[in-house]
Chain A
Amino acid sequence: MSATNTKTELRSTGSKDKTARRIFIILFLALPLLHLLIFSYVPIIGNFVVSFTNWKGFGDLEFIGLRNYKKLFSNTEYISMFKNCLWYLLAAIPQLIFAFFLAVVINGKFRGLNVFKGILILPYLLNGVIVSTIFIIFFQNNGSLNAILDTIGLHGLTHKWLQDLKLVNPAIASISIWRYYGMNFIMFFGALQTIPTELYEAAVIDGCTKMQEIRYISIPFIKKVLFINIILSISGSIQVFEIPYIMMNGSNGTLTPVIQIQQSMYDNRVGFAAALSVLVFVIVLIVIGLQRLLVKDD
């Protein structure tokens, strides 16, 4: 918590007695803390316990040791859903590069700036159901992608994008570039705006090219935000849910861990869902923990 330190206490005014102060603090923290406890800490700790049982969501807990975890690591269907996440991780690379350069070029004053800003933010404002529908129309057999390929004479490249088992995962993972670059773009843009213009003026006087400017001013200055975005992409790719769920319902080999968690919950396999949740939690913990460690060392 950057903004607080132990020297922040207000001077006691004497007229205020300690009880009133204590009641005020407790009153203001009670509900939010209770919420935090019930909906974050109890379930995340409870998951560990439940993951060693075959709990159905009702009745007694029967401990079955590591059986849920063994099932996760031995069944190829479950292993492949983690592999699917790698496609989303891969898509994050062009997504971040695109978002970064977009932020660099939009960070200036020129005619049409607001029109471009308006268009480019559009995908960020659309929900998962809308995005999924848009891309069903895009990828379906008589959809826009195949129609465009046909029109420009590349009949050979048309495919059944959503049915071909080799193509379906890369196809729907690429949607996340369109859907999520906007978030990265705005974050980069916000960070770039904190760079003092004097730096750029000095660079111009020194005869720097635009690429040198990016390399020696922009990137070092917003390194922290770049890093946060990389971490968000990694932890996001393990939590992919909406697009494969809405478009494919996890079928055709597009299952992801979070879709499987939900399906197991509905099938009353709460113990198994808990084990999978623990796994997702641990992966996110490692990724974000790594970020915190590396940023502190900086």
Chain B
Amino acid sequence: MIYESPLYKVVRYVFLVLASIFVLIPLIPLVFMAFKTGAEYSATSVLTPPANWLNFYNFKYAINVGHLFKAFLTTAVILVISLTLQILFTCMVSYVLHRFDFRGKKVVQTAFTLTMFIPVVATQTLVFRMMYAAKLVNTMWSVVILYAGVGIVGIYIMLNLLDNVTREIDEAAWIDGASYFKTFWTIVFPLMRPACTTLLIIQGIALYNDFYIPNLYLNSNVQTFTVALYKFYGSMSTPFEIVSAAILIGMIPILIVFICLQKYIYNGIAAGAVKM
């Protein structure tokens, strides 16, 4: 235990309390608003708490009119398929790069490394035309395909883990007559699980919250949650207190995931970051 001066302890609490206020102040009126009636919203200040905390009308209205449930479902399907593919692909690429030497390896490594120079926003002009030509615009497959790509941070996380998985495990399996594929699938892949969890958390949060790609590709009846919320909010007829309720609903899954996985989120993101 490191010694800390009493003054530092006080300063730390003051700073953390102020920081928490900074975070919470913009959020509080949103919570108030979600429980207010339309008339109450126009009559009272945003800083006034709602008269009735049990007024769930806005939540019911948001669920029925905003197609939020359907959007949640679409988001879940997109995330499950694309995260499975992305994580599997990342493991495969990392395994090959870590364990094998082959002609063109340098080229493959460089190709993946250089993607950090290519902003997604700068590629969509032409990717959109490709998706359009392939008739994938306005289907969830455009988004799934784009999300399934292997990223360089993921590769770093996996390579780092593979450094700690001894090669003798692979070799023993081969001597026992296991194929390359079987060795990967039954022996090495299960050992890569901690790194998969890290990648799952980082990418899960990023993709659940992504707005740019789904907003570009999904416009009509297929929507992710962020796009549904945006459409809902963009239409002038939707009153603000309803939008607030919809947003609180949208925060529920991410808060549940966060409460269950707080430790992993901190460690996972930090681990990914330090490796860059």
Which residues on A are within 8 Å of B, measured CB to CB?
1-4, 6, 8-11, 13, 15-16, 20-22, 24-25, 27-29, 31-33, 35-36, 38-44, 46-47, 50, 57, 98, 101-102, 105-106, 108-110, 112, 114, 116-130, 133-135, 137-138, 142-144, 147-148, 151, 178, 183, 186-187, 189-191, 193-194, 197, 200-201, 204, 210, 225, 228, 235, 239, 241-242, 246, 258, 261-262, 265, 270, 273-274, 277-278, 280-281, 284-285, 288-289
Contacts and interface: CB of A to CB of B under 8 A. Distances in A.
22 contacts: A4-B98, A10-B171, A25-B100, A28-B95, A36-B150, A39-B123, A112-B16, A117-B262, A118-B259, A118-B262, A122-B27, A130-B247, A134-B247, A144-B25, A187-B270, A189-B266, A193-B270, A225-B276, A246-B230, A261-B124, A265-B128, A288-B117
B250 interface: yes
A97 B33 CA distance: 32
A10 B8 contact: no
B117 A289 contact: yes
Given A32-B89, A125-B255, A147-B45, 14 more contacts: A3-B162, A22-B102, A39-B123, A43-B124, A50-B125, A114-B262, A127-B225, A144-B28, A183-B269, A189-B270, A277-B124, A284-B119, A285-B117, A289-B117
B146 interface: yes
Contact of B150 (A35, A228, A262): A35
Contacts of A183: 269
Given A277-B125, A288-B117, A20 B27 contact: no
A190 B157 CA distance: 14
Contacts of A197: 2
Nearest to A150: B45
Given A29-B96, A186-B270, A133 B251 contact: no
B270 A4 contact: no
Interface in B1-54: 1-5, 8-9, 11-13, 15-16, 19-20, 22-30, 33, 45-47
Contact of A187 (B15, B116, B258, B269): B269
A105 B27 CA distance: 24
Given A128-B209, A144-B47, A36 B112 contact: yes
A270 B19 CA distance: 44
Contacts of B126: 42-43, 46-47, 50, 270, 274
Nearest to A142: B46
Contacts of B179: 20, 24
Contacts of B276: 225, 228
B244 interface: yes
A15 B176 CA distance: 10
Interface string B198-229: 00000001001111100010000000011001
Contacts of A123: 23
B175 interface: yes
Interface residues of B, number: 114
Contact of A125 (B11, B150, B205): B205
B123 A47 contact: yes
B125 A273 contact: yes
B243 interface: yes
Nearest to A98: B19
Contacts of A225: 273-274, 276
A281 B119 contact: yes
Contacts of A193: 270
B121 A144 contact: no
Contacts of B1: 109
A280 B250 contact: no
Nearest to A190: B270
Contacts of B211: 127-129, 242, 246
B113 interface: yes
Contacts of A1: 97, 109, 113, 155-156, 159
Contacts of B55: none
B122 interface: yes
Residue of B116, B125, B174, B233 most packed against chain A (CB within 10 A)? B125
A266 B73 CA distance: 28
Contacts of A124: 205
A235 B25 CA distance: 29
Contacts of B184: 28
A103 to B, nearest CB: 10
Contacts of B115: 36, 40
Given A127-B226, A129-B233, A44 B118 contact: yes
Contacts of B145: 35, 39
A141 to B, nearest CB: 11
A137 B30 contact: yes
Contacts of A31: 89
A262 to B, nearest CB: 7
A277 B276 CA distance: 25
B187 interface: no
Given A33-B111, A280-B119, A133 B233 contact: yes
A121 to B, nearest CB: 7
